Amino acid sequence: MTVRVRYAPSPTGSPHVGNIRTALFNWIFARKMGGVFIARLEDTDRNPDRYKPEVIPELEESMVSLGIVPDEWWKGGGDYGPYVQSERLALYQEAAEDLIASGNAYRCYCTPERLTKMREEQQALGLPPGYDRRCRYLSEADRARYESEELPSTVRLAVPLEGRTTYQDVVYGQITVENRMIDDQVLLKSNGWPTYHLAVVVDDHLMGITHVIRGEDWQPSTPKQIYLYNAFGWEQPVWVHVPLILGKDRKKLGKRHGATQFYEFIRSGYLPETMFNFLCLLGWSAGEENREIFSVAEIIERFSLEGISRNPAIFDYDKLRWMNGEYIRVLSPEQLTDRCMPYLIEAGLISATPAQEERAYAEAAIALCADRLKILSEIADLTGFFFVAPEVPEEKGQRKWLTGERPLQIIATAKSLVAALTDDPSVEDAEQIVNRTAETLNLERPPVIHTLRVCLTGRTVGPGLFELMSVLGKERMLSRLDRAVGWVLKE
């Protein structure tokens, strides 16, 4: 048996990290087992408040950026298409008619007004919500009359009223549900469009899906889908429900915790490779307690469905930030510059199409700040002083290092040494400037270093002074030392 798994996003919003984790688990399992990874667009919910076709490119790009391009999907095609549910309506309508003919479904003629009133009465009596099955017991005469009057109707699942439905979940073990607790779910709406329950079963069967790997929040719908498999006489897939992702407060991950959409993280400067690694470890263990960084090949090698925990996964934003820093530091200078360029351009620090010299300068500046970089969007703040001379220094640094006569002496001495250079200083030249300034003024190196840092960058913290002096170059340093004279405070 060839393993066939699927990721079935709906275009109702930008992809949530929980959905992306589901996609990753499916792709990894397919690669582990030499199987097929399918993506299917579930676009049958056309409620204008939820249906957002403009997010489909983000659904596509999220998979591409993570390197999990489906083997079969709506963009690449395949032998089991179409892979868009709105293009498969005839299949669902035919399946609904088959269920009616076999007595496993029935037409419901209840109006929205009656259903609303029914729910209100149930609520008032403290009863569990659910359809009262009125149309399930209509006489043939009533059915014929309603049909002759062309009343709109839906198709409902005729759930067995007795017994139990039991199934095996790879993560949660054996699960049993009393059939009387299952509602007669609408399968086909009055406009001929399917609900999720009918469409997902028909599609998973016709596309040969062997394992359904999805979020735990779909678990309550599984008995209804199992009944449909049985009603059609189809073999069930293997059920795998993945635990929910929670915030540190152990509540379902939401906006109150921070970013939740995959592209929020990508746009703010988290690397796709970081997100791959981090999300895979939410609810699955690689079996190495003291290790967090794994290559894609290592994850595939270690992955198993049995390794998925039934405990909710906690989304640790601090750990994600740390991990992203680790991935940033293994990028080459050229790769890191490519990743950082959009943020520097957006901040107006470099031109939209930088010339070779401008890019080289940016690469040198970025390289000096790479050790402190955790998220790519931070690069504009970390390197801003390289591109734009500070107007004023930090108040703390000004008070401590630019007060009295000594900073004026340091500035004058250092400036004369810089002016004497025939070219931009090397790192060694920069260190000699600091050493000679300290010797000339009979000072220790630290006050010279701190004073020059504030003069050149306006800050008290940053990359190594000698390295940043070398990157800034002779002319920038002279200009900034001149400006710094006006920053010096009287004692």
Closest CA to 14 of 46, 43, 55, 44: 55
224 catalytic? Reply is no
Rounded to whole angstroms, how far apart are CA atoms 225 and 198? 8
355 pLDDT above the threshold of 90:
yes
289 pLDDT above the threshold of 90:
no
Enter the tokens of residue 26: 């499916």
β-pairing verdict for 105-108 and 36-39: unpaired
Across the range 259-272, mean pLDDT stands at 95
Closest CA to 165 of 150, 148, 181: 181
Rounded to whole angstroms, how far apart are CA atoms 479 and 483? 6
Q: What percent of the chain has pLDDT over 70?
A: 100
pLDDT of residue 259: 84
pLDDT of residue 1: 84
* pLDDT class of 299 with cuts at 50, 70, 90: very high
432 pLDDT above the threshold of 90:
yes
The full DSSP string for 76-143 is TB-TT---BGGG-HHHHHHHHHHHHHTTSEEEE---HHHHHHHHHHHHHTTPPP----GGGG--HHHH
Rounded to whole angstroms, how far apart are CA atoms 17 and 254? 10
Across the range 121-141, mean pLDDT stands at 93
Across the range 143-150, mean pLDDT stands at 93
Tell me which H or E stretch contains 156. Answer: strand 154-157
The domains of the chain, with CATH numbers, are 4-85+245-319 (3.40.50.620), 88-242 (3.40.50.620), 332-387 (1.10.8.70), 395-485 (1.10.10.350)
Question: DSSP secondary-structure letter at 261?
Answer: B
376 pLDDT above the threshold of 90:
yes
Q: What percent of the chain has pLDDT over 90?
A: 94
Cα distances (angstroms) measured from residue 225 to each of 79, 159, 230, 353: 24, 11, 9, 54
Q: With contact defined as beta carbons under 8 Å apart, do 36 and 72 qualify?
A: yes
Q: With contact defined as beta carbons under 8 Å apart, do 303 and 412 qualify?
A: no
Rounded to whole angstroms, how far apart are CA atoms 362 and 163? 70
pLDDT of residue 254: 84
* pLDDT class of 253 with cuts at 50, 70, 90: confident
437 pLDDT above the threshold of 90:
yes
Across the range 100-126, mean pLDDT stands at 95
pLDDT of residue 10: 95
pLDDT of residue 160: 93
Enter the tokens of residue 165: 């439905």
pTM above 0.85, yes or no: yes
Across the range 88-95, mean pLDDT stands at 98
Reported as a single tens digit per residue, the pLDDT across 219-234 is 999 999 999 999 999 9
405 pLDDT above the threshold of 90:
yes
Closest CA to 283 of 2, 8, 18, 6: 18
pLDDT of residue 123: 92
pLDDT of residue 252: 87
Torsion of CA 132, 135, 139, 142, to 10 degrees: 130
The full DSSP string for 60-94 is HHHHHHHT---SBBTTTB-TT---BGGG-HHHHHH
Reported as a single tens digit per residue, the pLDDT across 155-192 is 999 999 999 999 999 999 999 999 988 999 999 999 99
Across the range 235-260, mean pLDDT stands at 91
Q: What 3-state class would DSSP assign to 247?
A: coil
pLDDT of residue 287: 84
pLDDT of residue 257: 85
Active-site option among 189, 248, 255, 474: 255
Residue carrying the six token digits 């997902």: 200
Tell me which H or E stretch contains 382. Answer: helix 379-387
Cα distances (angstroms) measured from residue 337 to each of 59, 272, 351, 367, 380: 27, 16, 14, 8, 12
The terminus-to-terminus CA distance of the chain in angstroms comes to 83
